[in-house]
Amino acid sequence: MIKTGKILVIDDDQDILLSTKMVLKKEFLDIITLTNPADIIPYIEKKLFDVILLDMNFTTGATSGKDGLEWLKRILQIDPQSIVVMMTAYGDINLAIDSMKIGAVDFVVKPWDNKKFLATVMAAYNLSKSKQEIVQLKSKQKTLVQDIDQSFTEIIGESQKIKELLTIIDKVANTDANVLILGENGTGKEVIARAIHRKSNRSDNLFVNVDLGAIHENLFESELFGHVKGAFTDAKEDRAGRFDVANEGTLFLDEIGNLSLPLQSKLLTSIQKKEITPVGSNKTVPVDIRLICATNQNLNEMIDKNEFRQDLFFRINTVEIHVPSLRDRLDDIPMLSNHFLEIYRKKYKKPDMKISAESFKKLKKYNWPGNIRELQHIIERAVIMSNSNVLNASDFVLNISESSTLNKHNLNLEEVERYTIENALKKCNFNVSAAAKELGLGRTTMYRKMTKYGL
């Protein structure tokens, strides 16, 4: 076995230091001994050791343990993550309790049994490694979350509508109030949700996005609440649900209007009780989440038709945010277009490409049924197709008549499919479920194709 681990021992008795080193050197890579506690500080500041063994008394004849307790406090002030085991020759249980209240992880009584002493130090070492792993995991998590979040930019725009939206976000972000985000498809509801999370007190924890429209009804409980091994045929191991993963962070439930009434009831129970029960388990798990929901549907109309629970609506709707459509913020089109242009000229290696003033005039005249998502798709397509460094108005195919002409003379299946899906969405007032039914598609397939075509 390869020896690892570094141990620091501080005691004014040379015999104790020698015997400690003899016992520990068989198991640990490096054992450093000190007689003067004042020499500890440089070692602690550099965080060089996995475990620190600290004597209770350093003043000749002292038995109170005050020296050790004071040095314990200093060590933990410098590095609160330090793993400290106290050593005392007097077996004073009250003194040991005092040291553990301050932050020591354990204590040993001199003279000790070597096996018990080694077991105590080994347990402290394992605790130290676990703490280090947690710190590393949190660091990796933070990096991953930041990397994921980069694809969801800050809210772009300077129109009055956007200024009003940003004001609401600033007011609500530092609260734990549940938020309902309303808006058409493609307006950037997830961008708004992530902006709230970034500005909140939970920003160091996870933002978990759940597309409820893409989850099969039979898998709803497993996805959101988790399951235990053996709960059903394919449950080969325990799995955490999205509520559990988002604990102490933000849970974003997109397309909340797509939930059936029975699933709405289960969701309401979990929100009210702030606890979940994994599938196949009889134990409840407490959860602490900030809930943000979003939909493009009119929930008030759904309530009137008994398609959405009013009590759930009130529970998720402490603060309601309306995201403006792109046609209601046309002044932001140049800024948004240049933002997407910057992304795609890098992606497609066309660094000198620009959008003409004439193009912006044309883009502002369009109705934008697909909102920002449609604008992004159109900018990307124009960058790909153009051979010029300037994107002119003719590079942008926008309205239905132009699309119809394109499809009459174009037998490309993807173009035809995109046009058909777009028309179905417009016909159904951008109700995704209704459009999917109109086309004979499942909701999951519909969402996948919408993403593919930037709708």
Question: What is the CATH classification number for the domain harbouring 404?
Answer: 1.10.8.60
Residue 448 lies in a domain: yes
Please check whether residue 270 is in contact with residue 225, taking contact to mean a CB–CB distance below 8 angstroms: yes
Neighbours of 241 (CB within 10 A): 24
Whole-number pLDDT of residue 60: 56
Q: Are residues 334 and 279 in the same domain?
A: no
Residue 33 backbone dihedrals phi, psi, to 5 degrees: -120, 140
Block residue for tokens 């029975």: 262
Q: Are residues 22 and 83 in the same domain?
A: yes
Q: Cis ω on the peptide bond leading into residue 369 (within 30° of 0)?
A: no
In a domain, 97, yes or no: yes
Using alpha carbons, select from 275, 254, 143 the residue that is nearest to residue 208: 254
Residues 238 and 365 both lie in one domain: no
- Select from 324, 358, 375 the last residue of a domain: 324
Total domains in the chain come to 3
Q: Which pLDDT does position 404 carry in this prediction?
A: 42
The rounded distance, in Å, linking the Cα atoms of 342 and 359 is: 16
Which CATH number covers residue 95? 3.40.50.2300
Does 157 lie in the same domain as 119? Answer: no
Kindly give, in sequence order, each residue whose CB lies less than 8 Å from that of residue 122, ignoring residues fewer than 6 positions away. Answer: 27
SS (H, E, C) 65-113: CHHHHHHHHHHHHHCCCCCEEEEECCCCHHHHHHHHHHCCCEEEECCCC
Structure tokens at 106: 């354990």
* pTM beyond 0.75: no
| Secondary structure element (H or E) that encloses residue 29, with its range | strand 28-34
Answer whether residue 122 is part of any domain: yes
Contacts of 6 (CB under 8 A, 6+ apart): 28, 29, 30, 31, 32, 48, 49, 50
In a domain, 145, yes or no: no
Q: How do the pLDDT tens digits run along the chain, 455 residues long?
A: 567 889 999 998 898 999 999 999 889 989 999 998 888 888 888 778 899 999 988 765 555 677 889 999 999 999 888 999 998 876 667 787 889 999 999 998 888 889 999 999 999 999 998 888 877 776 666 656 555 555 556 799 999 999 999 999 999 999 999 999 999 999 999 999 999 999 999 998 889 999 998 888 888 999 999 988 888 888 888 888 999 999 999 999 999 999 999 999 999 999 999 999 999 988 899 999 999 999 999 999 999 999 999 999 999 999 999 999 999 999 999 999 999 999 999 999 999 999 999 999 999 989 899 999 999 999 999 999 999 999 999 999 885 444 444 444 444 566 677 778 888 887 787 788 888 887 888 877 888 888 777 77
User: Is residue 421 a contact partner of residue 431, using CB atoms and an 8 Å limit?
Assistant: no
Alpha-carbon span 184 to 138, nearest angstrom: 36
Domain boundary among 295, 324, 353: 324
Q: Based on the domain organization, do 314 and 331 belong to the same domain? A: no
- As given in the structure block, the two tokens for residue 147 are 């990397």
Same domain, 101 and 205: no
CATH for 224: 3.40.50.300
Token pair listed for 450: 């919408």
> Is 370 inside a domain boundary?
yes
Task: Domain of residue 344: give its range.
Answer: 327-453
Cα distances (angstroms) measured from residue 436 to each of 49, 51, 131, 302: 61, 61, 49, 18
Give the pLDDT confidence score for residue 409 in this predicted structure.
46
Give the Cα separation of 265 and 276 in Å (integer): 13
Please indicate, yes or no, if residue 228 is contained in any of the structural domains.
Answer: yes
157, 293: one domain: yes
E strand or H helix at 34, and its extent? strand 28-34
Residue spans of beta strands (DSSP E) within 130-218: 179-182, 207-211
